[in-house]
Amino acid sequence: MSVLVYVETNFLMSVATGREKRGDDLLATASQSVRIAIPSSCYMESFSAFEAERKSRNRFQEELGRQVGRLRRDVTSENARALLDHVEKARIANGLLLNDVQERLFQFVGRAVSVLEAIVEAASVVRNAVNERIILDPTDNLILHAILDHARRNPGIEKATLTENARDFDLGEVREALAEAGVTRSFRSAADLLGWLGSVSK
């Protein structure tokens, strides 16, 4: 049986942030019978999402710095000295974690881009996304329209989506649009998707 799986930005970021540990296992299933596709705009969105993560981490780092300054001014409390030690270690760990996220994202994108089938958003897809707001978020709406267009152009194949983004992709109207395009299954984790792929390939 031929299977076509759609992933989006959330897949890349979930691997980068450590929420998804089986990303490479899913990449390894790509074959003539299992195609994995992603809208090309998702790569750019993942880099933008990382920048948002960087800003969030930097704000946290600044707050930790303020706490360090306050704790250092307390010269009598043993608890203040103990907490200062923890906060200073947290500052170091916060910076290292941001480096981890960046390294995992860039390395995984580097591996994924040679495996995933890129869906290039044609002008007609962009127009559809502008004219039909199925998802309120414009970026996710464009991603959805790219998937719908690709799914319609690939009939007769079992299709599924992988996304943790239930806020946007688990809406009734979105599920209906996907089903009409032949995308009848949705998974929240690579582990669940891999389990299903194992069952349909038997």
pLDDT at site 202: 58
pLDDT at site 131: 96
What does the chain come to in residues? Answer: 202
pLDDT at site 121: 93
Q: Tell me which amino acid residue 68 is.
A: V
pLDDT at site 44: 96
Strand partners, 39: 119
The secondary element (H helix, E strand) that includes residue 159 is strand 158-162
Q: Residue with structure tokens 């009848």?
A: 184
pTM: 0.90
pLDDT tens, position by position, 71-80: 999 999 999 9
Which pair of structure tokens corresponds to residue 3? 């299977």
DSSP string across 141-166: HHHHHHHHHHHHTSTTSEEEEE-S-H
CB 5 within 8 A of CB 87: no
Q: Residue with structure tokens 């960046």?
A: 102
Mark the ranges of the chain whose per-residue pLDDT is less than 70. Answer: 201-202
